[in-house]
Structure 1
């Protein structure tokens, strides 16, 4: 059995020694296997530090890095800077009422798509299985497809939403096992 991805967590606004250690191990795993590294950004922060470490110092190709939970920090400038690196941007966790998610996410997706980064966008529900409710008790994947998808279609069009839900994750998580 082979892993489909390696997931690590960053720190809040910065990377502590533990996050640097686990990301170094994730980079080693990537170099040995070719799998994508998915990064939990604490409240959506620290993305640029993660990219500096993984892609800059540790040599992981940016297209093999997925930055998660960007919806939790609706900083459009930061989103664009991260997208410029070539990494994938995951807006995962809609309907968490205590985060700036549903009502700001379409604007962030539209801004990134308008800037030419539509091929780097991913959408998720912060769950472990298709039927699961999201971490923290949110409604999970059914809500994503039933409520968030139509809202995104209105904001950016069916074509882009279809790519965000199919082609982009297919490319981001494609196995490059070594």
Structure 2
């Protein structure tokens, strides 16, 4: 068995080589749910990465999945010119983000067809770009898992079992945590340490967080500075409580920039905010040593895989 590696758009790297990592963000994103706010400019993505690097950032994990404008062909050039490692995703978001025709092409309801797409993008490349994905992104609903979520998660589990790739889960407003774990880790037998639960900061239910951590999953606090969400001001207390409970080595931080207006280059917090403002606030709450581990060591372990072949 080989050593674990993080699959970036420029090739596999050792988990310890990520440096300060934004564990969940978007350089490119397009959805009918966000009209007029598309992330589709290569120049803007380059500027955002440069601003992130200026704050000490060295790696970004893009959670943009299949069919949402991830522009895989542009990612290697951005990684080279900015010096920031980029990890791309395969996977599928909620049904509202797609045209019905695309879902039918992907085998709507047939997990084997969709799993084959995920495996191909993880092992061979996204389209004809040669860029291989390094994670599978799927999504739950608000306090529930509908038929679409069960289909995509079943496909993700199949692709994980074939490749070892981690499964990153969008939790709608941070809900449905235990249902996701029951399905992925119970029914579908995905090891909990290969499941990354996103957006937990949006529903700061500490008991649920502790239960998920005790099961062995990764807990991602991503998307700070969202209006009307329990984000920045509660995150330090939540992180401290989980660290005190012995789960500091299972925590991840991300920015989750999903609209053009949220980018730093357009006056929003953007990717740099994670290191410029969120990181020192967390350091004041739990200490620099733990926060350093969260943004470097933890990210490498969460996305590191012993890839087949």
Regarding TM over 0.5, the answer is yes
Matched, 1:75 2:208: no
Tell whether 2:169 aligns with 1:21. no
Which protein shows a greater Rg?
2
Unaligned runs of 5+ residues in structure 2 are: 1-124, 126-131
In structure 2, the residue matched to 1:36 is: 166
| Larger RCO (CA under 8 A, 6+ residues apart) | 2
Conserved 8 A contact 1:36-1:65? yes
Mapped pair 1:4 → 2:134: yes
SS of alignment partner, residue 8 of structure 1: strand
Task: Specify the alignment match of 2:287 in structure 1.
Answer: 157
> What is the CA–CA distance in structure 2 between the aligned matches of 1:82 and 1:21, rounded to whole Å?
22
SS in structure 1 opposite 2:291? Answer: helix
CA distance in structure 2 between the aligned counterparts of 1:175 and 1:20, rounded to whole angstroms: 24
Residues 84-128 of structure 1 show CA distances to partners (whole Å, capped at 9, x for unaligned) of: 110000000011122100000011100000000000000000148
Mark the CA change 1:138 to 1:26 in structure 2 (over 3 Å): closer, same or farther. farther
Moved over 6 A (4+): none
Q: 2:250 aligned with 1:102, yes or no?
A: no
2: CA distance, partners of 1:138 / 1:73? 23
Pick aligned residue for 2:248 from 118, 122, 135 = 118
Kept in 2, the 8 Å contact 1:13–1:45? The answer is: yes
Cα distance between partner residues in 2 of 1:52 and 1:169: 24
Identify unmatched segments of 5+ residues in structure 1: none
Aligned partner of 1:168 in structure 2 is 298
**Are 1:57 and 2:187 an aligned pair?**
yes
SS in 1 for 2:271: helix
Q: Does the aligned pair in 2 maintain the 1:153–1:161 contact within 8 Å? A: yes
Taking structure 1 as reference, are residues 138 and 12 closer, same or farther at Cα in structure 2, changes over 3 Å only?
farther
Contact 1:95 1:138 in 2 (8 A): no
Secondary structure of 1:171 counterpart: helix
Q: Cα distance, 1:138 vs. partner? A: 4.9
**CA shift at 1:147, angstroms?**
0.5
**1:53-72: CA deviation from partner (whole Å, max 9, x where unpaired):** 00011010000000000000
2:252 is paired with a residue whose SS is strand
CA distance in 2, matches of 1:76, 1:17: 28
Q: How many residues align?
A: 173
Alpha-carbon RMSD across the aligned residues, in angstroms, is: 1.5
Q: Deviations over 1:11-32 (max 9, x none)?
A: 1101111101100000011011
3-state DSSP of counterpart to 2:138:
strand
